[in-house]
Amino acid sequence: MNRHAILAIYSFEMSRTRRTLMQSIASPVLSTSLYFVVFGSAIGSRMAQIDGISYGAFIVPGLIMLSILTQSVSNASFGIYMPKFSGTIYEVLSAPVSALEIVVGYVGAAATKSIVLGLLTLATARLFVDFSVAHPLWMAAFLVLTSVTFSLLGFIIGVWADGFEKLQIVPLMIVTPLAFLGGTFYSIHMLPPLWQQITLFNPVVYLVSGFRWSFYGVADVGVGISLGMTLLFMLLCLGTITWIFKSGYKLKA
């Protein structure tokens, strides 16, 4: 394992974040804070409890997941797309750096940004609503696992995209709607039986459910199933990335 190569890619990506703190960190935290103000404080105080949890506290895990999902995809896709756009990706591919080291560098940086953002959002939520974390280790595990998994997805999108329009279409048209329909603001048990079954095809449901369980010990789906589905999605992303490097899809063309 070429640690110097990984550190070089990782450091470069992290330095870009430091240069754009307002866009990378402050803007997502501010946007999520508005959700806490509107849904947590204003509307939440007038809504009934869900599974014995106040509405403001109930949506905290979902909003953190929403922020992590969108930012993981965005950071990772932009990170690998820009070298393709500028042509510097060929320098990386011709260097004595393996595919694994390239992925670890880019995905590791994107996941780190998402984890930091998730922790900042968690701290910000404390200013607006009271909540507890019943299983902090599981909370950290789901936070890291989700950040890495969706950073892998973002890496795939960045390789696939051949324009800024394509770079944005998947997060805007697919990831964000799935996050909103994945139990971010509600329990899927509140839906009619048919829609409960349909919702189970949404992978975000398992992420939000598992993460919410780590906070309050309640979940829409068993925590074991949530963990298994997340790991399965990560393996699918890893398999796709392996194929991309073996075939040179949109990297060597």
Q: What is the pLDDT along the chain (253 residues), one digit of tens a residue?
A: 778 888 888 988 888 777 766 666 777 777 777 777 777 666 666 777 787 888 888 888 988 898 899 889 988 998 898 888 888 888 887 888 888 899 999 999 999 999 998 898 888 888 888 888 999 999 999 999 999 999 999 999 999 988 888 888 887 888 888 888 888 888 888 888 888 888 989 989 999 999 999 999 988 898 999 999 999 999 999 999 999 888 888 876 5
Give the 3-state secondary structure of residue 39. helix
Domain map (residue ranges) of the chain: 3-247
Rounded to two decimals, the pTM is 0.89
> CB-based contacts of 250: which residues, under 8 Å, 6+ apart?
84, 159, 160, 162, 244
Report the half-sphere exposure of 123 (CA within 13 A, side-chain side).
7
Q: List helix spans (H) across 20-135.
A: 21, 27-35, 55-86, 89-94, 99-125
DSSP assignment letter at 88: T
